[in-house]
Chains A and B, each alone.
Chain A
Amino acid sequence: MGELQLMKGNEALAEAAIRAGCKGYFGYPITPQSEILEYLSEHGPPRGMTVLQAESEVASINMVYGAAGAGARAMTSSSSPGISLMQEGLSYIACAELPCLIVNVNRGGPGLGTIQPSQGDYFQSTKGGGHGDYRLIVLAPSSVQEMASFVFEGFDLADRYRNPVLILADGALGQMMEKVTFPAYDPEEHRILKPWATDGARDGKERRIITSLHIQPEKMEELNLRLEAKYNLIREQEVRFELVEAADADILIVAYGLSARIAHRAVDLARERGINAGLLRPISLFPFPTEAIRALAERVRGVLVVEMNAGQMVEDVRLAVEGAVPVRWFGRMGGIVPSPDEVLQVIEQMDGAPQETVAEEVYQ
């Protein structure tokens, strides 16, 4: 059964990786996620995990390619600048359809930026990041519990779809301490056959090739179409979101990760003031809960997107809402975490504003 522990987000995630049967971790130190590498360096090897501090994030992601291609559960973790370095490798991994887990404990950017929490990597995570047409399955935890739980779920999804899965957290979730319960999880029960893995062409098996090179355009397009079909299946099957007080909401907030926690508090404060606010928290950023947002948009007066970036997820929300109601954005950047009061102020403005005023703000 589950065991209750008080843990840092990064450490809970690392512990979950061991329990999920991850056999290879390859990483490079970067704040604010170095605890993952440190925790695994201490606790991984005695429990059967290979833990290798690589010379760079570039090497790390390519080691993950090799390890995943050999049929093992493999992962890496980093923070924003390091994840940028991995984009080439991720594109190759997505094309070669290698199941693996990548963790981005997002910090503020662009550039070297700041080590404080941010959600500035939403575009990079959900729109490709590397070259070519591909998608990662992106899970966004908003608690230490989910930092752990999404590791198990992430590896299962990766194996099921032969697709890389990204856990997109942020510096605060990595560093904060909360209660966490590890589920009973036997990796053996979750093990699936990987007949495509290059582990030696034994027992009369056909030899296997793992590649992302399909030089004939017809073959490459065939692969592109197959990948798109897979992504569409993921869109159908794997949308995950949470609703808070959304059923009777007049104003719907859409926020993920740490922002969703802040927005949740702002919803409570608004309700205390008699404003019917509600929250939709996307848990899977790809696939995005487009339909759920679209359905709610028909019932609310306005939508507010709260993000710790300059307005990234708001683009997907506007695509979902399709102009049905005004969509407003509020966010902080540079490692600043918005306060529930700041969000409340925006909700109050939206609540008090006549319909036309809110609509104008959308297009500013």
Chain B
Amino acid sequence: MTSQISTMQTVDENLNCVYVKPDTLTDARLHYCPGCGHGVIHRVLMEVVDELGIREETVGVAPVGCAVFAYNYMDIDMQEAAHGRASAVATGVKRMLPHRYVFSYQGDGDLAAIGTAETIHTVNRGENILMIFVNNAIYGMTGGQMAPTTLLGMKTSTTPSGRISSGVGHPLKITELIALLPGAGYVTRQSVHTPNAVRKLKKALTRGFTMQREQQGTSFIEIVSNCPSGWKMNPLDSNRWLEENMLTVFPPGDLKTPSERKKES
């Protein structure tokens, strides 16, 4: 087997095709650091768009942060929002185009610090969109500063001795807050550090899109991810560290499903 696999068909006719790049992912070279979860998340997201056959019906909103160039990789109509405002921009798009599938894609600083008001109120209105929240507990793009979700004890360039709750507070579990809001239809926390986690994420994303058809309120998917550069670890260690530390504070699983929402109302 060759390591230069672009399309499986060219390798050996007798092999089964186990992976192809989704059509809706462009050929642009990802700018993400080696081992970063964003690449996997982009791929799974576009796989879901392809499998649902909604490429031409989908509008995405990119954040400010590491995923600021998401529109270079996702071959769909996209808007680039100001820092923290992706869910407000997505609201504007969805209200004008209620039959399109609309998603926002934001990091922890974007969604849970500067954009907290927009996040809470978008979900509280029950905007019929999918909000994707990539939590890697650090500001990656600006060079590794403390994020609202930075774990206690975690060293960043602005918490050089490790985050302590005194003065800068505790890691913000915004997804738990979101789950309290009646406008939220589906709230789940997933990760991308193992193949099994990626499979589960794909199911969650599929649900996040199909719920828009059924007008079931906001879908909110937190994806606990890694930042090998910001965490100063190699990719393998970062995924191990994620499992042992991040998932303790941010445990994966559904926080709210549409059936639970019905009970509320």
Residues on A close to B: CB < 8 A?
Answer: 23-24, 26, 50, 52, 54-56, 58-60, 62-72, 74, 88-89, 92, 96, 198-203, 207-213
Question: How distant is the Cα of A23 from the Cα of B81 in the complex, in angstroms?
Answer: 21
- Which of B50-58, B105-113, B222-230, B234-242 forms contacts with chain A? B50-58
For A55, A60, A64, A200, the residue with the greatest tally of chain B CB atoms inside 10 Å of its CB is A200
Interface residue B100 (Cβ < 8 Å from any Cβ of A): yes
Alpha-carbon separation in the docked complex, A47 to B55 (Å):
31
Contacts of B91 in A (CB 8 A): 52, 59, 63, 66
Whether B76 pairs with A69 at a CB distance below 8 angstroms is no
Give the shortest distance, in Å, between A284 (CB) and chain B (any CB). Answer: 27
CB contact list, B59-109 vs A, under 8 A: 59, 61-62, 68-69, 71, 75-82, 85, 88-97, 100
Contact in complex: B75, A207 (CB < 8 Å): yes
- Please determine whether A66 and B58 come into contact, CB atoms closer than 8 angstroms: no
Q: Are B95 and A211 in contact (CB under 8 A)?
A: no
Given contacts A208-B77, A210-B79, A212-B80, contact A66 B92 (CB under 8 A): yes
B118 interfacial by beta-carbon distance below 8 Å? yes
Closest Cβ neighbor of A91 among chain B residues: B82
In the complex the two chains form, what is the Cα distance from A41 to B74 in whole Å?
37
Cα–Cα, bound, A315→B95 (Å): 42
**Contact of A70 (CB < 8 Å), options: B71, B80, B88, B92:** B92
Partner of A200, one of B90, B97, B118, B121: B97
B95 lies within 8 A of A52 (CB):
yes
- CB contacts (< 8 Å) of B57 on chain A: these are 200, 202
Partner of B95, one of A67, A89, A208: A67
The count of residues in chain B whose C-beta lies closer than 8 Å to any C-beta of chain A is: 34
B94 nearest in chain A by CB position = A66
Residue of A nearest to B83 (CB): A88
B81, B89, B97: the one within 8 Å of A199 (CB): B97
Alpha-carbon distance between A181 and B186 when the two chains are bound, in angstroms: 49
Most-contacted residue by chain A among B56, B75, B121 (CB, 10 A): B56
Residues of B within 8 A of A52 (CB): 91, 95
Contact of A66 among B69, B71, B79, B120 (CB under 8 A): B79
Quick check: B78 and A209 within 8 Å, CB to CB? Answer: yes
Q: Is the CB of B96 within 8 A of A71?
A: yes
A70: chain B residues within 8 A (beta carbon): 59, 92-93, 96-97
Least CB separation from B92: chain A residue: A66
Q: Are A59 and B121 in contact (CB under 8 A)?
A: yes
A69 vs B85: C-alpha distance when bound (angstroms): 14
Q: Are B82 and A69 in contact (CB under 8 A)?
A: no
A199 to B100, CA, bound (A): 8
Please measure, in the bound complex, the distance between the C-alpha atom of A10 and the C-alpha atom of B71, giving whole angstroms.
39
Tell me if B92 and A26 are in contact (CB < 8 A): yes
Q: How far is the CB of B177 from chain A (nearest CB, A)?
A: 15
Q: Does B117 contact A (CB under 8 A)?
A: yes
**Are A207 and B92 interface neighbours, CB within 8 A?**
no
Q: Are the C-beta atoms of B78 and A207 separated by less than 8 Å?
A: yes
User: Contacts of B121 on A, CB cut-off 8 Å?
Assistant: 54-55, 59
Report the bound CA distance from A92 to B117 in whole Å: 19
CA distance A88 to B83 in the complex (A): 10
What 17 additional pairs, Cβ within 8 angstroms, besides A59-B91, A69-B89, A200-B97?
Answer: A23-B96, A50-B95, A55-B121, A56-B117, A67-B95, A69-B79, A89-B82, A198-B77, A198-B79, A199-B77, A200-B56, A201-B55, A202-B56, A208-B77, A209-B77, A210-B78, A211-B79
Given contacts A62-B88, A67-B93, contact A207 B118 (CB under 8 A): no
**Can you name 27 A-B pairs with beta carbons within 8 Å?**
A52-B95, A55-B120, A58-B88, A62-B82, A62-B89, A63-B91, A64-B92, A65-B81, A65-B82, A65-B89, A66-B90, A67-B93, A69-B93, A88-B82, A96-B80, A198-B78, A198-B79, A198-B93, A199-B77, A199-B97, A200-B56, A200-B100, A201-B76, A202-B56, A207-B76, A208-B78, A209-B71
